[in-house]
Amino acid sequence: MRTTFPSSNQQFRLAKCVFRQVLTLLFFGLTSLGTQAQTLAVYTYDSFVSEWGPGPKLQELFAKRCACEVNFIAAEDGVSILNRLKIEGETTKADVIVGLDNGLMVEAENAGLFQPHTVDTSSLLSKLNWQSNTFVPFDYGYFAFVYNAERVADPADSLQSLLSSNKTLIYQDPRTSTPGQGLLMWMKAVYGKDAGKAWQAMANNTVTVTKGWWEAYSMFLEGAADYVLSYSTSPAYHLVVENKSQFRAAHFNHGHVMQIEIAGISKFSKQQALANKFLQFLISQEAQEVIPVTNWMLPVVDNVALPDAFNRLINPKTIGFTPEQIAEQRKTWIREWRQSATK
């Protein structure tokens, strides 16, 4: 077989071609690296990133602001997120964590898993009295037992009337779920040293205890129980999206525990600027108009237009504990729950 070598002109054209290919590879290689540097990994809970949750819309809106990508990574619930962060430590992929709450913030901060933010929080509602430079609130609400008025004609007006009724209920595990932890605080605030006996009474009415909110609420909607632990704002979803008014939150005269959902930056993130930008975005007017009608909680800033359904919700008074008290007593309360509720 005869071998032909290129001429000098052919060599020159070949060299130019190779040079252009090298430049192209370098360009796309650098572009790829740049894209990776502009991808924000966000840990959150599963309902947040569902097709009807706020995640997809927030993802779209923020991408327009930053020319970046947001990669949501979901766990079952807020407590599950914190447990995962503790296990992963410095190997975590998270840049931002969305979905812890005021009941977990001190424990999370003490665990050394977060770094301070640089977000301007001056626009937050004064009623929140927000002081933290580690976490930023993005919505709030009140824990409540939701019921179907077509099934429950005379709803409970206190935890005691709920426990003394013959109505069934579903709630979430306080070891994995923020609503479950909220019930833990609620029971302790109302019953104090007699909380163990109250848990035993609740066990008589309990159909099941789920790991997360979505599993519990889905079972309730399928008719598995008369009540489900959820939020005072949950009925707004049914009113706005489904035009159904039978799902309501029981108004307890002794008060309800407030939940403030929060976001923070992983201590191990190398994308502090982008992470801070995302947290600032969460409390922007644009994001706050999305969250109430997708996450079905209340906005943390003023002048957010809400559907009329929000005016039909219960207006609870607040009871409970400080984040510091919760961090100090949480393990003891969980132990009391385990010993009492499983008997």
pTM to 2 decimals? 0.85
Q: Are residues 171 and 40 in the same domain?
A: no
For tokens 């509720």, name the residue.
341
Do residues 228 and 195 lie in contact, with contact meaning Cβ atoms separated by under 8 Å?
no
Mean pLDDT (the chain) is: 90
Question: What is the CATH classification number for the domain harbouring 247?
Answer: 3.40.190.10
Do residues 102 and 259 lie in contact, with contact meaning Cβ atoms separated by under 8 Å?
yes
Q: What is the mean pLDDT of residues 10-25?
A: 40
**Owning domain of residue 295:** 36-140+259-311
More confident residue, 273 or 18: 273
Q: What is the mean pLDDT of residues 299-322?
A: 96
Q: Rounded to whole angstroms, how far apart are CA atoms 72 and 65? A: 17
Q: Are residues 155 and 300 in the same domain?
A: no
Do residues 100 and 267 lie in contact, with contact meaning Cβ atoms separated by under 8 Å?
no
Within a domain: 30: no
Q: Are residues 109 and 40 in the same domain?
A: yes
Percent of the chain's residues with pLDDT above 90: 84
Within a domain: 148: yes
Residue 343 binned pLDDT confidence (cut-offs 50, 70, 90): low
Q: Rounded to whole angstroms, how far apart are CA atoms 234 and 266? A: 30
Within a domain: 268: yes
The reported pLDDT for the residue numbered 279 is 98
pLDDT digits (tens, 9 = 90+) for 247-289: 999 999 999 999 999 999 999 999 999 999 999 999 999 999 9
Residue 77 binned pLDDT confidence (cut-offs 50, 70, 90): confident
For every residue of 270-300, DSSP letters joined together read S-HHHHHHHHHHHTSHHHHHHGGGTT-SB-S
Q: Are residues 197 and 320 in the same domain?
A: yes
4-13, 203-212, 241-250, 334-343, range with the lowest pLDDT: 4-13
The reported pLDDT for the residue numbered 67 is 86
Within a domain: 5: no
Q: With the C-alpha atoms ordered 23, 27, 33, 34, is the resulting torsion angle positive or negative? A: positive
Q: With the C-alpha atoms ordered 40, 45, 50, 52, is the resulting torsion angle positive or negative? A: negative
Q: Rounded to whole angstroms, how far apart are CA atoms 265 and 311? A: 34
Domain count for the chain, please give it: 2
Q: Are residues 174 and 244 in the same domain?
A: yes
